[in-house]
Amino acid sequence: MAPRTIGLILTYNGERLLARCLESLAFCDEVIVVDSLSQDATCDIAQAAGATVLKRRWEGPGPQFRYALEHIRAMEPKADWVVSLDQDEYLTDELAANIRAAVLAEDDLAGYWMPRSSFYFDRFMRHSGWYPDRLLRLFRPARMEVQVSGAHYSFHPKGDTGRLVGDIIHYPYRNFREHLDKINSYAQQGADDLKAKGRPGGVLAGVVHGLARFAKLYLLKLGVLDGRAGFINAVHGAFYAFLKYVRACEGGDWGQKP
């Protein structure tokens, strides 16, 4: 029997690119969309494409992925492989073909890493720590666990892995306003994570970490070669780090101060 492959997408108000994302997963035996109570046409788009839509209130990437994977592991017939994409990503034809070949290969690998190419401002970034940005997005569901740090998640395989050629195409932001909204959200989650771990924040820590972040992205990661986009991204990265450490020392509602 041919291996059974399930596509997995977590969504929330993802109508912008969801149709393209779903189209790139057309080779999957089934596509599961776990939606966090979207208020746009996300669910309609997913259902029109033939995807199974599960609705669940957002509690963070860890609980959401664990819920999705518990559902997939309980499915009959069982899923041999899962291909996971974000709602603002899609597979190139080259990568989709290589995924199809990988699931048919008779190997014992737990998963495969693949590069992601992300668009920012006026170009697809090729430096700045953005590329090749290899991610484990094809994996055996029984041999993978989700790990979360602040606002970010990653898949960790239980066993050996391989690499695939071809890109995940990623359009993370519509504009700078959307990027800054995401920075604001990530900085708060990062600050909460620092507090939970008992790590100190403060203005000086924010300045030091912000400068270090800029140097890393613009110089060490060669963001200078990404032109204006590389510089703007490095500035925004520094601002994120500054906000995270300043907010970690915030005492609460300013209106409650004497």
DSSP conformation letters of 100-159: HHHHHS----SEEEE-EEEEETTEE-SSTT-SS--EEEEE-GGGEEEEEETTEEEEEESS
17: Cβ–Cβ under 8 A, 6 or more apart, which residues? 87, 88, 89, 90, 171
**Dist CA 19 CA 115 (whole Å):** 21
pLDDT digits (tens, 9 = 90+) for 55-90: 999 998 889 999 999 999 999 999 999 999 999 999
For position 251, what pLDDT does the model report? 76
Confidence of residue 204 (pLDDT cuts 50, 70, 90): very high
Average pLDDT on 20-25 reads: 98
**Dist CA 37 CA 11 (whole Å):** 9
Q: What is the average pLDDT value for the chain, to the nearest integer?
A: 95
For position 153, what pLDDT does the model report? 79
Rounded to two decimals, what is the model's pTM? 0.90
- Residue among 210, 211, 218 at smallest CA distance from 246: 210
Domains of the chain: 5-170 (3.90.550.10), 176-256 (no CATH)
